[in-house]
Every structure is written in structure tokens, then in C-alpha cells.
Amino acid sequence: MTKRISSSTPIAAPSPASESVVASSIVDVNEVDASIQLSELRNLRTKKDLSDLFKRNNSDPRKVLETIRYEEELEKLQIELVKLQRWVQAKGKRIAILFEGRDAAGKGGTIRRFTEHLNPRAMRVVALPKPTEEEKGQWYFQRYAKQLPNRGEIVFFDRSWYNRAVVEPVNNFCTEGQYDIFMQQVPEFEHMLYEDGLIIIKFWFSISKEEQLNRFKSRKANPLKQWKLSPVDMQAQEKWTTYTKFKEQMFSKTHTSFSPWIIVKANNKQKARLESIRYVLSIIPYEGKDKSGVSLYPNPNIITRFHRNAMTVD
């Protein structure tokens, strides 16, 4: 029988575990329109106290509860990531995960959730700056090849060699000849990596034009996030159609059976983070996977494999 909770029913004090979940759900004001402090929750005694607290703070309890559920699910998936990393170390595997997508698509935030609890000695995040004069005279893949994972290591690429497939031609950072050579070479480059035993996972984070604009406005208004805005970002809306053209060409010419593109619908940041982690866990045969306390089947409404009959993405 389900026990009803009346407005006079006492509310148990939060446990240490739930405190961490609640605290983390309150921190990101972009995801929860609430400004509730943990100390306020400790002082609650009844359901009415909780309701009054939400009203005083002009908060949406549904969003707070959604974020708490998200944090709980994320923690379970991160436990599986720790198990996966141990397997990578024990077996000497090499994994490269590429995060691509339009500006403000949520790549960096997702990488942070991937790496939050991993052993930093066995993983790296690579976000290369623009090439130096010396690197401009090298083979294009050379500076990326130096960043590939060593034995027992996972490397997360916050943008990768695919800069030349979309960002560079859109912004005239490369010549037409350099672009054509890259598009010819990249499937061969990735096939060599595949044959050498490297596991490559390629994510494209897909957002709508309206959502991108909203995120730009949020960054501009937030002093802690203004560093994320660059002149290239500011032109992204104007060049939306050109980005789409080069992105579709990239999919058409670089989506292969040994190195497929995985599309992440990323208008909802929380779902994009959870499902991309879930996808990685679903395709790697790490030890202890059968004892997982969370579903490892990615949501097909969020995660899809690119197929050539798809008309558009984004």
C-alpha cells in the first residue's frame, strides 16, 4: 500500500549522498531555474515547508526533481565509466573519442561529465589551439597523430582533425586544395588506425539554430562563460547554411563501417550527456558490464547512427 504524505508529515534530513546530488543539481543555473541552498533544505520539516520554499524562490519543483534524477543517473553511468577505464588499462586498449558539432552544441560540457571521475593518469582531453607556423608546414594529420592514445589510455578530442572538414572551409582557414586532399585522406587515415587496433568513436552533437542562438545569449550574459565566445562563434548564425553544406559533405564522404558517425540530438544538454556516455558503454565489452546498475541501451530518439538516406541533421 502506498503511504500518503500530508502537509504535516516530517521530511527526513538529506543523507550525505542525497546532499551531493541536490547540491550539484542547484549549481547549474542554466539547467535549473532555482536558487535553493542546501542549508535551506536541511531546515525543512514538512511538505508544506518544501512547497513554501519553492514559492519564495520562484522555483519550478519539476525542474529540480528532473535534475536530481539526472544527477543520480549520471553517477551510475560514471561508475560504469570507471569500470571501463580499468578494463582499458588492464587490456592495454586505446580509445579515441571525437566530439564534433556546431559552436555551443555542448561538446565541452559532455566531455567534463565523461572525465569527472576517471583516473587522470590514464586519460587525456585534447583541445588544440590554432596551428603554429611550423605546424602549418607539416602534414595536416601530424599534430593530431601525436595526440592519439597510448596503450591503456582514453583520449577525448574536443574538436579533432575534422576541423578541416567544416570549421576551416566555412571560415576560409584553408584552401580548396587543402580541403580536397583532407577529404581524400581522412578515410584512409582512420582505416589505418582501425587496422592498428585503435577504437575510434565519432560524435556529432546536433542542435537547432534557435537553440544555438539561445546558448550564445546565455554565454554573453554570464561573466563566467564569456570566454567561450569567439569571433568565429559570433559568425556561426550568419553562416548556418554554409556549415550545413560542409557538414553534410563530411558525413557523406567520411562515414564508414569501421569509423561511423554517431549523431547526438543535443538541444537537451542533460539527455545528450547521458546518452552519449551510455552509447560508449554499450559498444565496449568491458569487464563487469553485465553487473551494471543502470541501463546501457542508448535512447534511439537521442542517439542515431548516420545513414545516407537522412536528408538533414540539425
> What is the tens place of the pLDDT at every residue in 178-224?
999 999 999 999 999 999 999 999 999 999 999 999 999 999 888 88
Distance CA 263, CA 250 (A): 13
CB atoms within 10 A of CB 196: 9
Alpha-carbon distance values, 48 to 52, 80, 238 (Å): 6, 38, 50
Q: Domain 92-305 classified CATH 3.40.50.2300? A: no
Structure confidence at residue 310 (pLDDT): 60
What mean pLDDT do residues 6-32 have? 42
| CB neighbour list of residue 245: distance below 8 Å, 6 or more residues apart | none
* Torsion 160-164-166-167 (CA) sign: positive
The secondary element (H helix, E strand) that includes residue 184 is: helix 176-195
Sequence-ordered list of residues with C-beta below 8 angstroms from that of 68, at least 6 positions apart, any chain: 21, 22, 25
- Give dist(CA 36, CA 41) in Å, integer: 8
Q: Across the chain, what does the average pLDDT equal?
A: 87
Q: What is the pTM of this model?
A: 0.83
Q: Pick the closest to residue 264 from 77, 95, 100 (CA basis).
A: 100
Asked if 278 and 298 touch (Cβ cutoff 8 Å), the reply is yes
What confidence score (pLDDT) does residue 10 get? 43
Q: Can you say whether residue 172 is alpha, beta or left, with left for phi > 0 and alpha for psi between -120 and 50 degrees?
A: left
Cell (9 digits) for 7: 502537509
How does residue 125 score in pLDDT terms, banded at 50, 70 and 90? very high
Asked if residue 11 has pLDDT above 50, the reply is: no
Helix (H, G, I), strand (E, B) or coil at 55: helix
Domain-wise residue ranges, the chain: 16-59, 92-305
For the ranges 38-52, 118-132, 147-161, 241-255, the lowest mean pLDDT is seen at 38-52
More confident site: 35 or 42 = 42
User: For the chain, what is the radius of gyration of the CA atoms?
Assistant: 22
Chain segment 222-263, per-residue pLDDT in tens = 888 888 888 788 789 999 999 999 999 999 999 999 999 999
pLDDT for residue 36? 60
CA distance 109 to 293: 24
245's grid cell: 553544406
CA distances from 80 to 16, 74, 238, 296 (A): 21, 10, 41, 9
The answer, yes or no, to whether residue 137 has pLDDT greater than 50, is: yes
Query: What's the pLDDT score for residue 53?
Result: 74
